[in-house]
Copies of this chain bind each other. A is one copy, B any other.
Amino acid sequence: MLLLSCSIMKHSSRKVEIIAKASHLFKEKGYSAVTVRDIAQAMGIKAASLYNHIQSKQEILSVLVMDLARTFTDGMNSILVSKGTPLQKIESLIEMHIDITVNQSEALAALNNDWMHMPEDDVVAFVRMREAYEENFRKIIKQGIESGEIKPRHPEVILFSILSTLRTLYLWYQKRGKLDVNVLKRDMVAVLIEGMV
């Protein structure tokens, strides 16, 4: 799967470096606890120099979060129109989340915890995208229940259980010394779908 974090040349290479370093700091302490001086120090330059490349601290956050949100939305859309049973689509969604986790674990932290500190407009757009994403996921689960492929349980509980596992996977993927991606996918799909008994 191809995961382009931003369209070509939308940002200068230096800007991309800053965003990368910043996202790493954001993951450790959260957006609000990271100062522009922290980011500058990580880059080996002075705080004021950052402003040759970025417009504001908030802009870094917005680029991080909104780019990743679009990645999720695009992924969901292509899975939606793909052929396959609901269960196979859920499998694809799980694999997509794992791919994104492996490639963008830093940005995932910001998306999960710091989206509310973006400028108002982006917050609105973000929440809309997230709701649409969840609604699509919910529909797939309901289809699976209707077709008898999935046990007739509260769809909300299934949705929540899968999504919260996938959304916090980035926390574990770093701690547990980088498990092999394919092994992780296999085990994760098995546990989430077939359960443990």
Complex: A30 Cα to B114 Cα, angstroms: 8
Known interface pairs A29-B116, A117-B33, A191-B158. Does A196 touch B164 (Cβ–Cβ under 8 Å)?
no
Asked if A124 lies at the interface with its beta carbon under 8 angstroms from chain B, I say no
Please tell me if the beta carbons of B195 and A172 are within 8 angstroms of each other in the complex: no
Size bin of chain A's contact surface: 35 or more
Nearest B residue to A167 via CB reads B168
Complex: A193 Cα to B196 Cα, angstroms: 5
Cβ–Cβ < 8 Å partners of A196 in chain B: 144, 150-151, 153, 158, 192-193, 195
Please tell me if the beta carbons of A165 and B176 are within 8 angstroms of each other in the complex: no
Known interface pairs A164-B168, A167-B168. Does A157 touch B187 (Cβ–Cβ under 8 Å)?
yes
Asked if A80 lies at the interface with its beta carbon under 8 angstroms from chain B, I say no
Show the binding face of A for B, using Cβ within 8 Å: 28-30, 32-33, 87, 113-114, 116-117, 144, 149-151, 153-154, 156-158, 160-161, 164-165, 167-169, 171-172, 176, 183-184, 187-188, 190-197
List 7 tightest A-B contacts by C-beta distance, closest first.
Answer: A195-B195, A32-B32, A32-B33, A164-B168, A157-B187, A194-B195, A154-B187
